[in-house]
Structure 1
Amino acid sequence: MTTEVEQSSEGESSPTSKATKKASAEKWGQSVMDLGFCVVPSLLLRAQRRLNLNPTQLAVLLQLCDFWWDKERKPFPSKETLSQRLSLSERQIQRYIAELEKEGLVQRIERRASNGGKLSNTYDLTGLVKKLQALEPDFREAEETARAARKAVAKRGFKSAKASAASKEAAA
């Protein structure tokens, strides 16, 4: 764990584009979206098993992502906030974050106020980003292979694969 000195609060509003806001409001409802939203790559959800994440570890990561609004500004929710959101004890939160840190997905950075008092940790998610970037080619290849297979099946027309094979054998 590294240390950094900073003074800030948890409650800031996240920046969004008007198009994203409108599309999301149409899908989820404006009153729901007014409470905020979080952008998470689908690959994080699809790669849960490859990242060796249990459901609670994934939930902790998603909560950290909810506080990560700007690339240059790392999230810093308190253990108490994470504890309340996930119905876990602060000690359990510490353990899960330590596990994520051991896997290289998260790095805890201790924050201190200018007077030397302890603030909530900052969490660097660079490890998670790098691991997702490393997994992306595998998932892209699997997606392209599946797309090619669907396209090949669609080109067959009304005959089934067995019928096509049988007619080829009969012709030979």
Structure 2
Amino acid sequence: MTAKQRTVEEPSTTPPQSPSPTAAPIKKNSNVLKWGKPNIDAGWTCIPNILIHRQRTLGLDAVDLNILLHLITYWWEDENLPHPSKDTLAKSMGVSPSTIQRHIRAMEKVGFLKRIIRPKAGEKNDTNLYDLTPLRTLLEPHAKVELEARQASRDKKRERKTKVALAPERPPA
């Protein structure tokens, strides 16, 4: 995250392409069908599409997004905040712990997350807890814009179909 990107832009009214609202119903075990049983059994994570689709608008660079995705994989229950170490994140991503620390500090300053330091007896603290509820709050206006754009697109499509259906027949030439 560069200094210029440390502010969150307002949501854009141009949404990324999204699946058709008339897409086929989700099949039972569709994740298993897409990814294979061993991959699903090894663990999977629910990630809001809006986080990925609006990455640039949010001012997140690739390292920021990667850190958030890793933190999300450790957030299994709302009340049980993720707490991986900076070393764990750094090793998974192939960067230094100081890179992780610098990016987390910058994202905290903007308001994407909140670090909760866990002091313990002795020299070192326990791993930080990472509260991602600020991210959820920041994403909501973007999600609302996305949903409104989808609805407007559906309404426009429905209006075109209605006009075609109501058009008078043309006499044969």
Q: 2:54 aligns with which of 33, 47, 50?
A: 47
Unaligned runs of 5+ in 1: 1-18, 159-163, 168-172
Tell me the number of residue pairs that the alignment of Structure 1 and Structure 2 aligns: 142
Q: 1:103 aligns with which of 102, 110, 115?
A: 110
Q: Given the alignment of the two structures, is residue 131 of structure 1 paired with residue 147 of structure 2, yes or no? A: no
Distance 2:160 2:103 in 1: 44
- For 2:74, the aligned partner's letter is F
Q: Does the C-alpha gap of structure 1 residues 76 and 31 become closer, same or farther in structure 2, counting only changes over 3 Å? A: same
The range that moved more, 22-31 or 109-118, is 109-118
Q: Does the C-alpha gap of structure 1 residues 116 and 90 become closer, same or farther in structure 2, counting only changes over 3 Å? A: closer
Q: After superposition, where does 1:64-103 map in structure 2 within 5 Å?
A: 64-103=71-110
Q: How many percent identity over aligned positions? A: 32
**What is aligned with 1:62?**
69
Unaligned runs of 5+ in 2: 1-25
SS in 1 for 2:84: coil
Question: Please, what TM-score do these two structures have when normalized by structure 2?
Answer: 0.72
SS in 1 for 2:158: helix
Q: 2:45 aligns with which of 12, 17, 38?
A: 38
Shift of 1:37: 0.7
> Rg bigger for which structure?
1
Distance 2:27 2:61 in 1: 30
SS in 1 for 2:57: coil
RMSD: 2.6
